[in-house]
Amino acid sequence: ARMGRTLVELFYDVISPYSWLGFEVLCRYQHIWNIDLRFRPAFLGGIMQVTGNKPPAMLPKRGEYLLKDLKRMAKYYQVPVHVSGDDSQRMLATSSLAAMRFITAIDMTHPQYLEPLSREFWMRFWSQHEDISKPENIVAVAQQAGLSAELSQKALEMISSPTVKDRLKETTAEAIKYGAFGMPAVVAHYDGEPHLFFGSDRLELLGSVIGE
């Protein structure tokens, strides 16, 4: 981190709508707050498995609330999350593993595309309600984010490489080590220690802790 700037890490998965909200808000605040924002693509499925967490929608009452909450949050933060009744099912039926490996491959090779690429995945899944798990759809997302056909193809091939798989596992393990049990997990390194904030509704608290 640059002198006197607080390193803020955002652990996220594009299957998580609250991660999108947290991502957009932190993207806005990185120009206002004295922070260095670092995007850490990780795998939500892995975090849930290790910590024994369950998708909130598995509790019907909570699932009902979640849809209303997402609608309100999306409007408040002006992020185009379009909520529909079958979203919980879509989330449970979709694996984000290939997408997160693809994003990891880009993070390792062309990190300048990390922000627009991640955003396009959320746009496709949460705004346009389209698939993000099949290779042809992953490539479509990448090209939408400004990656060349050649670069998209190369990153797609990297998905099955041990280097990319291991990097995603390591990042996910790191989030768990900080205490994450879901997404987004925001870790602020302040005063010589890491402070974990869970969810996109703790960002004013984050600001307060780091003196913003």
Question: Cα separation of 4 and 65, whole Å?
Answer: 40
Please give the positions annotated as active site: 16
Residue 151 tokens read as 């670069």
- Match 């990780």 to its residue by tokens: 42
Distance, CA of 121 to CA of 133 (rounded, Å): 10
Alpha helices in the chain (DSSP H): 17-29, 44-51, 60-77, 87-93, 97-109, 114-122, 135-144, 149-158, 162-177, 203-209
Is 67 within 8 Å of 87 (Cβ atoms)?
yes
The whole-angstrom distance between residue 69's C-alpha and the CA centroid of its chain comes to 18
